Structure 1
Amino acid sequence: MKKQEQEWKEKLSEEQYKILREAGTERPFTGEYNMHFEDGTYKCAGCNTPLFTSNTKFDSGCGWPSFDEAIKGSIEYKQDRTLGMLRTEIVCANCGGHLGHVFDDGPTETGKRYCVNSLSLNFNSKT
């Protein structure tokens, strides 16, 4: 999904643009979905691609929504060397929007912790 930057600026809020298009990060413990545990699907706020299901979400205590598994094919992984460390950035496979990072310190059997900015997500309830 290719959009011109002006189109993204018109579609997204200023805060969403900073995160999704400029790889920003929201402050911890401030996001709408950090402590959100309803049944449903979390989708990319940029293009509405389903990314995570509620049954993969857990409270990691890190201050951002955390998931132990993404919907197959929904995420692309990129090496991130910013902030003087090596991390794995996660972006939406459809629109390239920055979502957050994935770490190998999750408490479930996957061993993964997808640490995601709330502003990069929309939620669709199962009900």
Structure 2
Amino acid sequence: MHLTGYDRKDNPSLPFKTKGKQVTETPELKGITKEDIHADLFIAELIKRYEAAKGKIVLTEYDFQTGLLEKYKLSRQEKEQYNSFFMLQELRNEYVSELYRTYRHPKVAIVYGAGHFWFLYAKIRDMGFEEVKKKI
């Protein structure tokens, strides 16, 4: 989990290189209002669901010694033991899918990152929804 902004060039904790051209997203920039619902899991709920499915996350001394913006090196055992894709994509997509199944409103829109959209697309299509592209 990266609790820092993607818009920082000097953030070595990110697992990829950034050119610093990303914009820190705010509700206002996304057009989100107080009438909208939050359709994502907060970090505490993600951890709870992850641990229920995969077992307790055990922090090491290295975890406590490594700063939030410092490069973090996973050991081979940690790479095998912990599955960030499961937490960051699968659990969240399942939650969004469940909201779609249970939410009763004639129009539903979701703000979803372009790089993450395709992980959710098949689930929503299989529930009978179709994609409508609109220029904003």
Work out which of the two has the higher radius of gyration on C-alpha atoms and give 1 or 2: 2
User: TM-score with structure 2 length normalisation?
Assistant: 0.23
Higher helix share: 2
Higher strand share: 1
User: TM-score with structure 1 length normalisation?
Assistant: 0.24
